[in-house]
Structure 1
Amino acid sequence: MTGTSDSRNRRWAATHRCIFTTALELFEDFGFEQVSVGRIAARSGVSVPTFYAHYPSKEHLVMAPPTVEEVGALLATQPPGLAVGERVLRANLMWIARMPPDEYDELATRWRIIATTPALRTRVAEYERATAGMILANLPAPSDTVQIVQATAALAATTAALLAWADGNGQRKLEELFDEAFRALSA
């Protein structure tokens, strides 16, 4: 049974990856809003229901929010005595440093798509709030107003850096943009 399960998992992962890479190519070539789920599915060689078995929407291909566990793992690498904003900045820098080159390139592609799609730029604020909530959920003490504001501001700075990176077509290092955005918070 294990062999069948492993084979099924590999097939599922390969299909998931195929849908993802195909969608990014289509979004880059034609624009996010001009590409339908049906077109992604057809180009990927899957049915529309199979697409939805892998992704709840085409938006989820581009805007991949972290999980509570991923946020917690990144924050756990930072000294707990630091302010929330400093912990988020350091976690962002660690996240980028650990990212394999192909994932870094995909991150750049996803953020270029977000930056050029007004509806996605607007939706980023919802993801910021959700991720700020994940940060607060991973803090050892109950969140107070200061922590809430720090987490929300840190996520706004993160988004500003990512959008500046995408708007500049990756000409500047993302790490520099993170540093600049977080310095603006303390100015």
Structure 2
Amino acid sequence: MAQDHRARQYASTHQRIYEAAMELFAEHGYEDVSIARLAAAAGVSVQTFYAHYPGKDELLMALPERAEIDALIATVPADRPLGERMRSAILGFVRGLTGNVRSDALARWQLIATTSRLRYRAAEYERATAQLFLESLGVEKDTAAAVVVTAHLSAYTQGLLRWADSGDEPALEGIVQEALDALREL
């Protein structure tokens, strides 16, 4: 029972820090908000902030869990070509972004798109996510597979950046599909 209470308290504090940060970023811009200011706005110490997030960047970007990637990959038959599996998994994930989750993703990607340092960090996360996909697929040592997976994730990232720039007009699904379609033209 005490462990459940601690987990709920941790999750509540985690969310409170995130929400305070998003408000401050919207009001003052990402670069002009210090961690001390974020912590104060959330009503926590700087030490507590770091117990929840390694830094400001991680408020906006996080690597997916391996189980999430495994679940995405499992939605597409294993006998399909790798490019088709990646395309279907990405589009399935995008279709699942609805309601508040989608609004939150748009707000985060708008910050990423307008902050050069975050755009650079997004590329790092893209490469790390590609490695997770390769491991999930069991092809981490296959050069051709690495090219296919990284190309699809790069197209996805480009779609997200264009979506952020557009303010959701056109919709994310169409932009990501267009970015993935560009790979078929190569």
Which bin holds the TM-score, normalised by the shorter protein? over 0.9
Alignment-mate amino acid for residue 161 of structure 1: G
Partner of 2:35: 37
Q: Which runs of 5+ in 2 are unaligned?
A: none
Q: In structure 2, which of residues 75, 78, 81 is the aligned counterpart of residue 80 of structure 1?
A: 78
- What is the percent sequence identity of the aligned residues? 45
Partner of 1:154: 152
Q: CA deviation at 1:128?
A: 1.1
Residue 5 (structure 2) pairs with residue 7 (structure 1): yes
Partner of 2:47: 49
Q: In structure 1, which of residues 122, 133, 136 is the aligned counterpart of residue 120 of structure 2?
A: 122
8 A Cα contact 2:63 2:125, kept in partner: yes
- 1:13–1:172 Cα change, 3 Å: same
Alignment-mate amino acid for residue 112 of structure 1: Q
Alignment-mate amino acid for residue 59 of structure 1: D
Q: CA deviation at 1:98?
A: 2.5
Q: CA deviation at 1:97?
A: 2.5
State the Cα deviation string for residues 71-126 of structure 1 (Å, max 9, x = none).
11111111112233322221122223233411111100000000010111111111
Partner of 1:145: 143
Alignment-mate amino acid for residue 7 of structure 1: H
8 A Cα contact 2:35 2:56, kept in partner: yes
TM-score between the two structures when normalised by the length of structure 2: 0.94
Q: Which has the higher contact order (CA 8 A, sep 6+)?
A: 1
Q: CA deviation at 1:29?
A: 1.4
Write out the 4+ residue segments of structure 1 that deviate beyond 6 Å after TM superposition.
Answer: none
The DSSP-based 3-state class of the residue aligned with 2:137 is coil
Q: Which runs of 5+ in 1 are unaligned?
A: none
